[in-house]
Chains A and B, each alone.
Chain A
Amino acid sequence: MATAENPKYKVIGTRPIRHDGADKVTGRARYGADIQLSGMLYGAMLRSPHAHANIKSIDTSKAEALPGVRAVATSADLPEQGDRVVELGEGAANMRHLTANVLARGKVLYRGHSIAAVAADNIHIAEEAIKLIEVEYELLPPVMDVVGAMAENAPVLNDDIRTESVGSAPPAKDSKPTNVAKHFLFEKGDVAAGFAEADIIVEREFDTAMVHQGYIEPHNATVLWNTDGKLTVWISTQGSFTVRQQTAELLKIPISNVKVIPTEIGGGFGGKISVYLPPVAAVLSKKTGRPVKLVMSRTNVFEATGPTPGSHMKVKLGATKDGKLVAGEAWIAFEAGAYTGSPIGPACMCVFACYDLPHGRVEGFDVCVNKPRTNAYRAPGSTHVAFATETLVNEICEKIDVDPAEFRINNAAKEGVRRVDGPVYARVGMVETVEAIKNSEHYKTALEGKYRGRGIASGFWFNCGLKSAASATVNPDGTVSLLEGSTDIGGSRTGIAMQLAEALGITAEEVIPAVGDTDSVGYCDVTGGSRVTFATGIAAIEAAKDIQRQLVDRAAMIWEVDSSHVSYSDGGVHGPDGKQLSFKEMAAKLHGTGGAVIGRGTSSEATQGGAFGTHCVDVEVDVDLGKVQILRYTAAQDAGTAIHPSYVEGQMQGGAVQGIGWALNEEYWYDEQGEMRNSTYLDYRIPTCYDVPMIDTIIVEVPDPQHPYGVRGVGEVPICPPPAAIANAIYDAVGVRMHDLPMSPPKLLAEILKK
């Protein structure tokens, strides 16, 4: 059935029931922690109570002596890595840091840093044994604040980190170690000249707290190290191939010795790419000859996985009084956590990405502090900088008395505009998303009431291309079994199956998609960067074309004509003299015409066209409590072409609500000793059902020319606008500008009282 919105397509734009749906509403779907194997042992890990300390000694003898304990492991059981830097499919990683993050080597760098692991007959024995391990620490002063960590005399976390300036010569090996691991600088035009043209300049400093992706399913891994030296890893991950590679590199064994079987996954948002547990479970399995399962507690997840950084930013924007942006400057420092690797690079590229900015300068720093090593979180880095830029834009609009939607349209990034970091946009939909908000019922309806206000903000994410693979086997009954390697976190296997169906002219229900393990499917990069529906979609379309070619050859054989006289269209093959056979009829003839037809497809696009979103929010502020209530919310986003509109809306709604949590509640709370004081869901408060209203969505479709059907990734953009939109709404409601996330009741109340 063609939809009214997209009569061009038969399958794309419809809303079929997802293929894995029945399993997921009946409890039958198996997630990582659901794996049960015969002879399986349960593991537990000892973690550092200190934020910064040298490990003087570890004595595991009492733990080993406890009945029911089968093995104990420390970093001594993992191979030395030396100075290797390895490309891991999610960027290059320093293997020495990676292995020390898995099991501390001589030093702990954050509270929760893992030190040792136990495998035992059940989880209770393992947890008891952990308490029997004796560790002697030499305490060091913790460095918890990003600006403090950059100071000349700050305690240094890693003695092998020296500032790498991206694009410059590597730092001298004998230079002094520092906490500033990376420095970025991007420039466009002449910033001084640009600001000289400005009639109005606003410059503000911003802070944002460290936040967690907050997926409901804790990290897990079950590993069997078999007697033939082969490992099998069952894990919920965003990328089975990166788990394979990280595990192999950490254990220094060939990747072909590791098979990763991805289970269903309970959320990731960028946090389930790094490997924490598999090498540890592997070592315990090797020692015992039995499969070992490790599952993190919620507190472990908060303290010891990869949240996204807190930041300190100074951003400056200049505009003319008739509403033209002329120059921008940004200084951004991100908490890398214990080891380098925060998303500071993308942050620098995103800070002015929504605008056509003639002159710009952006400087960024990746700074080590005694917190867990940070990771991606949905449009990594972009939400931080959108908070800064988008509140400044509204401040300018207020000062020159221009409608903020109008201002955004007039200054929007569009085709041909060069970003400060270099790339030139192809066709993009920033203008269209702002127009969608401007024309929305929401924006056009006046908001009434005391202490109520409205705000808008925009956001950008690149969307990745990267590598994907798929294979598709035609079944004799006219269905197709599709195998792909992108782990499915939110319905993507259906989105990919729909593209294959569209290309073959069959229904979505006639495709049976499955996510394969690393031995059964071609290499796929991670489910991240809003890439799967785009890139694995292209691979599936390529597989469909491969099937078409093979069916054309088969039909030519049946009709005894040259295959150049046969073509595939409208769900079947067509030959001379009006000869035709439907896909289903051809499928029925497979066995008589040479056996199986298997299509294969790959994709390897450097990048996608980029996507924009604009949100509008109404709030009410309780001026006695400083509490913000979200009254109404509308999100508009360019999806290129929406394959399954329900799941596009779902991404927009989920991203918006995560952004609301980031804006109003969520933050890591550390005390001076570097202990996280809110490492439960009760205290690290993510939005509940009762905190938010319905999230209205407007899907804008400006097709990406790089994809056969025009798909743009949709997962990440929607988290970017909410903090700034809400900050702008708060200003509209009570006249205070917030520059610090989260805008929690105590902070907002303090600002209100200052007035």
Chain B
Amino acid sequence: MSAKRVVTFTVNGDQVEILCEPRQSLLEVLRDDLDLTGTKEGCSNGNCGACTVIMDGRPVVSCLVLAVEAEGAELRTIEGVACGSTLDEVQAAFLEGAALQCGICTPGIIVQTEALLEENPNPTEDDVRFYLAGNLCRCTGYDKIVRAVQAAAEKRQVAASN
């Protein structure tokens, strides 16, 4: 075991400084050290997308990022999606559209959707399906997820044009 390192980054706008082992993944540090357990672990090898967070504007699977690699990064997790006590359009659309069942995939999918809508505010069904293909959901069959993403995109566009 090599020596612990100090790592500094921001999470959802807050500056944090932690002491971690080089072998610890960003996922582990978020969940175990920072108690940000909204980011989920489904496989720990990059295959399921449950651990998706946004790192410097890009969605990443946090199980494949070492915490030390996050030095200086700006991170956004599911806990930073809502605006205070108001849900954002994606979260609201998931609830209105019943786009979750067990909900374990939901944080990762919502975060991935935030990244999608940032890049492409008006995605087609195919765009949505392609962008979310790394986020597994075993419960819903994806139908209501895709619809919720499109509903959120529409809402956001309407809001932007007003």
The interface of chain A, by Cβ under 8 A from chain B, is 15, 17-18, 20-22, 24-31, 33-34, 36, 123-124, 213-218, 264-269, 295, 297-298, 489-491, 644, 646-647, 649-651, 653-658, 680-682, 686-690, 692, 694-695
Q: Are A214 and B138 in contact (CB under 8 A)?
A: yes
**B95 to nearest A CB, angstroms?**
4
Q: In the complex, what distance in Å separates the CA atom of A269 from the CA atom of B102? A: 11
Q: By the criterion CB–CB under 8 Å, are B40 and A217 in contact?
A: yes
Partner of B96, one of A17, A490, A654, A689: A17
A658 and B82 alpha carbons, distance in the complex (Å):
31
| A694 and B136 contacting across the interface, CB-CB below 8 Å | no
Residue pair A216, B136 in contact (C-beta under 8 Å): yes
Apart from the given pairs A25-B110, A688-B134, 14 other A-B contacts in the complex at a CB distance below 8 Å: A21-B95, A24-B100, A27-B39, A27-B79, A34-B31, A123-B28, A264-B102, A264-B103, A265-B102, A654-B138, A654-B141, A688-B133, A689-B132, A692-B142
- For residues 120 through 156 of chain B, which have their beta carbon under 8 Å from a beta carbon of chain A? 125, 128-130, 132-147
Expressed in whole angstroms, the Cα–Cα distance for A464 and B145 within the complex equals 29
Given A18-B98, A215-B102, are A267 and B129 neighbors across the interface (CB < 8 Å)?
Answer: no
Q: Which listed residue, A29, A216, A489, A491, touches B42 by the CB 8 Å rule?
A: A216
CB–CB A18/B82 < 8 A: no
Complex CA distance for A20 and B100, rounded to whole angstroms: 11
Q: How far is the CB of A626 from chain B (nearest CB, A)?
A: 21
Instruction: Please name the 5 residue pairs, one residue from A and one from B, whose CB atoms are nearest each other, closest first.
Output: A27-B38, A266-B104, A657-B141, A653-B141, A490-B101
Interchain CB contact under 8 A, B78 and A27: yes
In the bound complex, residues from chain A placing their C-beta under 8 Å from that of B43 are 298, 680-681
Alpha-carbon distance A682/B42, docked complex (angstroms): 12
Query: Is B19 an interface residue, CB under 8 A from the partner?
Result: no
Which range holds the interface residue count of chain B? 35 or more
Contacts of B87 in A (CB 8 A): 22, 25-26
**Contact at B104–A695, with CB atoms within 8 Å?**
no
A34 partner residues in chain B, CB cutoff 8 A: 31, 37
Q: Residue B48 contacts which of A216, A264, A689 (CB distance < 8 angstroms)?
A: A216
Contact A692–B141 (Cβ < 8 Å) = yes
Does chain A have a CB within 8 A of B62? no
Contact B50 A216 (CB under 8 A): yes
Bound: A658/B140 CA distance, A? 9
Which of B38, B102, B147 has a CB less than 8 Å from the CB of A489? B102
With the chains together, A20 CA to B106 CA distance in Å?
13
Given the complex of chains A and B, what is the CA–CA distance between A654 and B128 in angstroms? 18
B147, closest chain A residue (CB): A694
Asked if A646 meets B142 with Cβ closer than 8 Å, knowing A21-B95, A27-B39, A33-B41, the reply is no
B47 to A, closest residue via Cβ: A681
Docked pose: A20 CA to B91 CA in angstroms:
13
Contact with A along B53-73 (1 / 0, CB 8 A): 000000000000000000000
In the bound complex, what is the Cα–Cα distance between A265 and B146 (angstroms)? 23
Residues of A within 8 A of B79 (CB): 26-28
Chain A nearest CB from B90 CB (Å) reads 8
CA distance A650 to B87 in the complex (A): 23
Instruction: Choose one: A18, A27, A215; the contact of B138 (CB below 8 Å).
Output: A215
Judging by beta carbons under 8 Å apart, are A267 and B96 in contact?
Answer: no
Task: Select which of A31, A295, A298, A644 is within 8 A of B104 by beta carbon.
Answer: A31
The answer on a CB contact under 8 Å between A690 and B133 is yes
On whether the beta carbons of B136 and A686 are closer than 8 Å, the reply is yes
Min CB distance B68 to A, Å, is 15
Task: List 14 A–B pairs whose Cβ atoms lie within 8 Å, in order of A's numbering.
Answer: A21-B100, A22-B87, A26-B87, A28-B38, A31-B40, A33-B41, A36-B37, A266-B104, A267-B102, A267-B104, A269-B138, A646-B97, A647-B98, A654-B140
In this complex, the member of B40, B106, B138 whose beta carbon has the largest number of chain A beta carbons within 10 angstroms is B138
Provide the residues of chain B in CB contact with A25, threshold 8 Å. 87, 91, 94-95, 100, 103, 106-107, 110
A489 to B129, CA, bound (A): 24
Measured between beta carbons, the chain B residues less than 8 angstroms from A21 are 95, 100
Q: How far is the CA of A29 from the CA of B102 in the complex (A)?
A: 11
In the complex, are the beta carbons of B47 and A682 less than 8 A apart?
Answer: yes
C-alpha spacing A216/B50, complex, angstroms? 8
Which residues of A have CB within 8 Å of B24?
A: 124
